[in-house]
Amino acid sequence: MYLNLFLSFLMIGFISFGGGYAMIPVIEMEVTKNGWLNTEEFTNVIAISGMSPGPIATNTAIFVGYEIAGLSGAVVSALGMVLPSLSLILIIAAFFYKMNKHPLTKAAFYGLRPIITGLIVYAAINFAVSNGVIGAISFTTISLLLIFLLSLFSLIRYKMHPVLVILLSGIIGVLLYA
- Summarised one tens digit per residue, pLDDT across range 7-19 is 999 999 988 776 7
The pLDDT, as a whole number, for residue 137 is 81
The number of angstroms, rounded, from the C-alpha of 140 to the middle of its chain's C-alpha atoms is 28
CA distance 166 to 128: 17
The pLDDT, as a whole number, for residue 81 is 95
Global pTM? 0.59
The pLDDT, as a whole number, for residue 78 is 97
CA distance 167 to 178: 16
Residue 128 has pLDDT above 80, yes or no: no
Residue 35 has pLDDT above 90, yes or no: yes
The pLDDT, as a whole number, for residue 117 is 84
Q: 156 with 146: CB under 8 angstroms?
A: no
Average pLDDT, the chain: 89
Q: How does pLDDT run across 75-106, given as a tens digit for each residue?
A: 999 999 999 999 998 998 888 788 888 888 88
Residue 71 has pLDDT above 90, yes or no: yes
Average pLDDT estimate for 29-34: 94
Residue 68 has pLDDT above 90, yes or no: yes
Long-range pairs of 8-15 with CB within 8 A, sequence gap ≥ 24? 8/34, 8/80, 9/61, 9/65, 9/77, 9/78, 9/79, 9/80, 9/81, 10/80, 10/81, 10/83, 10/84, 12/57, 12/61, 12/80, 12/81, 13/80, 13/81, 13/82, 13/83, 13/84, 13/85, 14/84
